[in-house]
Amino acid sequence: MRRMTSVWPRLEPHLARVQKPARYIGCEEGAKAKTPDDSLVSWLFMYPDAYEIGLPNQGLQILYEIVNERSDARADRSYAPWSDLEAIMREEQIPLFSVEHHTPGAEFDAIGFNLSAELTYTNLLNCVDLAGIPIRTADRSIDDPLVMAGGHCTYNPEPLADFLDVVVLGDGEEVVGELTDVLVDWRAHRDESGRTRTDLLRAIARVEGCYVPSLYEPTYADGHFTGLQPLFADAPEIIEKRTIADLGEWPYPKEQLSPLTEVVHDRLNVEVFRGCTRGCRFCQAGMITRPVRERPADQVRHMVAKGLERTGYDEVSLTSLSTADFSGIEPTVKGIMSDAADAGCGPISVSLPSLRVDAFGVDIAAQINGAKRTGLTFAPEAGTWRMRQIINKLIREEDLYEAVDAAFSQGWQRVKLYFLIGLPSETDEDTLGIAELSKNCVAIGRKYTKRASVTASVGGFVPKPFTPFQWFGQNTVEELQRKVNLLRDATRRMHGVNLKWHDPKATLAEGIASRGDRRVGAVIEDVWRNGGTFQEWSENFEVDRWHEAMDRAGLTIEDMVYRHRGEADVLPWEHLSAGLHKDFLWDDWQDALAEVGLPDCRWTPCYDCGACTGYGIEHVVASATPPAGGSQGTGQDLSIGHAVPVQLLERR
């Protein structure tokens, strides 16, 4: 049996000469220091980007706690070492390690990656390689750890199919336990003669939500992907995502990690609901996490009060895809504030990410006006009403202005607005609408302060699997750049409007990985082998690496990224299911093109997208009354809405 060792004595002497060495020492408050013990099934949960990006990841923290609560398993964490340390590690032959015990990555039974961003894929390969594990599943032996991944990007795992032993779809809370059970059982029998790694993989393929890419073979015709064939009868034809029915049963993380050093989202984070039925058509997160499951409000308050007391943070973020939609958000925020005052916490602030402009009023503005108010962010996403109908983000201009007015009137001086460019059927008028909206918001702010400013942050749209826009051909780099230039020219003389934009070239690379099929694996590997790690960091991103890799793989960007897909096309993720019916997505795509919106099914009748019906669950919301502004902020008549319950229908 392998024993658990530590690289710390070899690592430590080098730490004084790397940037931010606190990335590598662990010691976070809340970290579980379960002693390395080879009799336990061991997991290494890994975020394939720098510590300060990966540490706050709530998904990994949840799994980390759940595994460490078991008596037969333990878990450590790891993050991608920054390039300076990587160079030392390669030179000194120090393998990838966990931050708790500095145990080499190859000594774990399983490595579980979180995949939240396509541009981290090359880092995943780098981390596997640094651990001394063969990067291709086909080359791994029975002694190598299982390399697994979960997270939103796994809804098209094909670009990583050659590198991942197991892909886990959906909520991880339950399935991590089932996988641990399989590993416990495997350890008891793995040394029996004739056992192979494939036996283990086939056992895992029987766990619901687990996709084992090596058990399937792709087919192609005329240079296009035509489907996946299972190699064994017990490999399911369709892999369904996992969904936990009741968030209230999973009050995790119970002890959120508070790091020694600065990280993004450095505050207490409490998830208030999962799923979103606003139905924004570009939004993969909303589509794949349906239905809506709210955490009971008293549990939210309890988790916040306990968390603030335990960590000493002065800021809590109530996280979800659209927190202003949480039933009774205002009393909950008030309750949190009064709990904190009772506990003598000093000033605290509550932040609500992804504020809905239609639900943001002076009341909420006043409530979250606590310890620090750096800036407020709204996401109108598009500049004109026509465009917002197409993407089903049905925010009226007046709603935005009211929200911005509320913010400035409560003392904020900076407001950030998120927009997408490159959306389906976008015209220059739509693009320029972004500048217009921003200008008007500054004018509103100037009523309150001369220093009012608006940052318009513009990202290129990447069509994602399991959204109605999955058929849409992404805008070319040149087209996106032209739109950025339009906006730059338009805002140049707009006092108080700051324009920020994503590099359209990075948007292209994201597009390659987002909807690519298995052949894109060679591209990811090629980019990695040519030094393309940390692709999320603009200083490390070189689009030429991606172009060259596509060429060498014999693939074209035209076909993989820019091409519009048709109804008859076989999409590379059709063997996976996020619960959504393909015909629902197609119909919604057609509605988009016809500029027709779709209301929120929490408060209007179910339109059977499939997310509830297929799993025999429904929305768990505490209130049947839609938030102010209507289900989509349009003031549409919802009088019939909450009277019609979600119906559980037979799967079509």
Partner 1 sequence: MSPPPKIKIRVRFRRDGKIRFISHRDTARLMERAIRKIGLPIAYSEGFSPRPRIAFGLALTVAYESDAEFLDIDLVTPVDCEGLPERLTDALPDGLTVDAAVPLENGSESLQQAIVSCSWLVEVLGSHRAPAEPADDVTTDTAGALGANVDEDIAALVVAVEEAVAAVLAAPELPLERERKGKVTVADVRPAILDLEVTGPTEHGVQLNAVLATETVTLRPAELVRVLGDEFREGRVRRTHQWTRVDGIEQEPVNPSSANRSAELAGMRDS
Binding site for ligand SF4 (CB under 6 A): 277, 290-291, 601, 606-613, 646
If contact means CB under 5 to 8 A according to the sort of partner, which of partner 1, ligand SF4, none does residue 134 touch? none
Q: How far is the CB of 164 from partner 1 (least distance, A)?
A: 30
Q: CA–CA separation, 428 vs 411, rounded Å?
A: 34
Residue 620 and residue 328: Cα distance in Å, rounded? Answer: 14
Q: Which does 27 bind (CB under 5 to 8 A by kind): ligand SF4, partner 1, none?
A: partner 1
Cβ closer to ligand SF4: 144 or 600? 600
Structure tokens belonging to residue 505: 């070239």
What is the identity of the amino acid at 363? D
Q: Which is nearer to partner 1, 12 or 398 (CB)?
A: 12
> Is the Cβ of residue 25 or residue 646 nearer to partner 1 in the bound state?
25
Q: Which does 68 bind (CB under 5 to 8 A by kind): partner 1, ligand SF4, none?
A: none
The H or E element that residue 323 is part of is none
Q: Which does 601 bind (CB under 5 to 8 A by kind): ligand SF4, partner 1, none?
A: ligand SF4
Residue 25 binding partner per list ligand SF4, partner 1, none, with a CB distance cut-off of 5 to 8 Å that depends on partner kind: partner 1
- Residue 646 binds which entry of ligand SF4, partner 1, none, with Cβ cut-offs from 5 to 8 Å by kind? ligand SF4
Q: From its phi and psi, is residue 154 left (phi > 0), alpha (psi between -120 and 50) or beta?
A: alpha
Nearer to partner 1, 97 or 589 (CB): 97
Q: How far is the CB of 452 from partner 1 (least distance, A)?
A: 13
CB under 5 to 8 A by kind: which of partner 1, ligand SF4, none does 261 bind?
partner 1
563 binds, options ligand SF4, partner 1, none, Cβ within 5 to 8 A by partner type? none
Nearer to partner 1, 102 or 502 (CB): 102
Q: Which residues bind partner 1 (CB under 8 A)?
A: 4-10, 12-16, 20-22, 24-29, 36, 101-102, 258, 260-262, 309-314, 343-347, 371-374, 411, 413
| CB 21 to partner 1: min, Å | 4
DSSP 224-252: EEEEEEESSTTS-SSEEPB--S-GGG---
The token duo for 571 is 């999409």
CA–CA distance, 317 with 208 (Å, rounded to integer): 32
Q: Which does 411 bind (CB under 5 to 8 A by kind): ligand SF4, partner 1, none?
A: partner 1
Residue 372: helix, strand or coil by DSSP? Answer: coil
Closest CA to 372 of 325, 322, 316: 316
From the list ligand SF4, partner 1, none, which binds 526 (C-beta under 5 to 8 Å, kind-based)? none
**Whose Cβ is closer to ligand SF4: residue 586's or residue 607's?**
607
Task: Please report how close the Cβ of residue 372 comes to partner 1 at its closest, in angstroms.
Answer: 4
CB of 147 to ligand SF4, least distance (A): 33
CA distance 463 to 476: 12
- Name which of 427 and 590 has its Cβ closer to ligand SF4: 590
Least Å distance, CB 86 to partner 1, is 17
Our CB check for partner 1 shows the closer of 312 and 616 to be: 312
Closest CB 344 distance from partner 1, rounded Å:
5
Work out the burial of residue 500: count CB atoms within 10 Å of its CB; fewer than 13 is exposed, 13-18 middle, 19 or more buried. exposed
Task: Please give the C-alpha separations between residue 464 and each of 376, 420, 540, 583, in angstroms, as whole numbers.
Answer: 27, 14, 24, 16
Q: Which is nearer to ligand SF4, 268 or 601 (CB)?
A: 601
Return the residue nearest ligand SF4 (CB atom).
Answer: 601
Q: How far is the CB of 634 from ligand SF4 (least distance, A)?
A: 18
CB of 619 to ligand SF4, least distance (A): 6
Residue among 145, 208, 177 at smallest CA distance from 62: 177
- CA dist 446 and 31 (Å) reads 47
- CB of residue 277 vs ligand SF4: minimum separation in angstroms? 5
Which DSSP symbol is given to 650? -
- Residue position matching structure tokens 């060792």: 5
Which residue, 360, 371, 456, is CA-closest to 409? Answer: 360
- Which one, 346 or 616, has the nearer CB to partner 1? 346
Distance CA 29, CA 491 (A): 45
> Residue 496: how many CB atoms within 10 A of its CB?
19
Nearest to ligand SF4 of 45, 155 (CB atom): 155
CA distances from 226 to 221, 346, 524, 573 (A): 6, 60, 21, 11
Q: With the C-alpha atoms ordered 378, 380, 383, 385, is the resulting torsion angle positive or negative?
A: negative
Measured in whole angstroms, the distance separating CA 510 from the mean position of its chain's CA atoms is 14
Helix axes 8-15, 83-92, angle to 10 degrees: 130
Give the count of beta carbons closer than 10 Å to the beta carbon of residue 552. 12
Shortest Cβ 347–partner 1 spacing (Å): 6
